[in-house]
């Protein structure tokens, strides 16, 4: 089962960008704006798809990137993306309730759809706390990356004056529950806060 999962995840990663894997990644990466992204236990930064100069990182199971190694898969397997916005793009801290309310409108759903892999999404739930707004969405059509779930959590937070978006999408073969997916996105938030001098905030 784990071997089959590894093959599937490598294939899914390859679908994100048409290049081959080059080996295991690192546990952290520094993106533009000096924003440090650290991976949860069992996850590594994908060295091929990640683009530090554009503020984008893909985190995936380390074992999938190093099929010849002896590492084990994390209990919850998913594709995790982190996108850091431009300088001055911060939009969450102090405006959490308004941000959350906007995401629940048709205009908010349209904005999420425009920035999602796979096209239109429906908003299934939102949560907010200090400097953190999360939204649970479901794809209206097939997922943009074959083999992944149609549902995902996306979280928005401000780091060093920039809007940072974290998304977690499980695999179709080993789907994540809504709570499991939220737990993973909150792990990334906690690591993001810790690595950048902030305080982790649960939604």
CATH architecture of 2-195: 3-Layer(aba) Sandwich (3.40)
Taking the C-alpha atoms of residue 137 and residue 146, their distance in angstroms, rounded to an integer, is 17
Residue-wise pLDDT for 149-180, tens only, equals: 999 999 999 999 999 999 999 999 889 999 99
pTM of the model: 0.84
What pLDDT is attached to residue 69? Answer: 65
User: In sequence order, which residues have a C-beta less than 8 Å from that of residue 68 and are 6 or more positions away?
Assistant: none
Q: How many CB atoms lie within 10 A of CB 121?
A: 24
Does residue 37 contact residue 56 with C-beta atoms inside 8 Å? no
Residue-wise pLDDT for 66-118, tens only, equals: 766 667 888 889 999 999 999 999 999 999 999 999 999 999 999 888 777 76
Mean pLDDT of 184-199: 91
Percent of the chain with pLDDT over 70: 82
Taking the C-alpha atoms of residue 55 and residue 85, their distance in angstroms, rounded to an integer, is 7
Does residue 172 contact residue 12 with C-beta atoms inside 8 Å? no
């Amino acid at each position: 089962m784990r071997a089959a999962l590894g093959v599937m995840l490598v294939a899914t990663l390859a679908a994100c960008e048409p290049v081959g894997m080059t080996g295991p990644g690192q546990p952290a990466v520094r993106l533009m704006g000096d924003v440090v992204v650290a991976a949860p236990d069992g996850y590594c930064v994908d060295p091929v798809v990640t683009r530090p100069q554009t503020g984008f990182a893909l985190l995936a199971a380390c074992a999938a990137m190093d099929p010849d190694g002896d590492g084990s898969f994390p209990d919850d397997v998913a594709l995790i993306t982190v996108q850091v916005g431009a300088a001055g793009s911060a939009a969450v801290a102090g405006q959490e309730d308004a941000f959350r309310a906007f995401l629940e409108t048709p205009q908010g759903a349209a904005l999420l759809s425009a920035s999602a892999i796979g096209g239109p999404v429906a908003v299934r739930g939102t949560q907010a706390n200090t400097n953190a707004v999360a939204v649970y969405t479901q794809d209206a059509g097939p997922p943009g990356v074959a083999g992944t779930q149609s549902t995902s959590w996306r979280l928005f937070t401000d780091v060093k004056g920039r809007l940072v978006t974290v998304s977690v999408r499980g695999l179709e073969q080993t789907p994540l529950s809504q709570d499991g997916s939220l737990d993973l996105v909150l792990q990334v938030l906690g690591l993001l806060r810790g690595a950048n001098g902030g305080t982790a905030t649960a939604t």
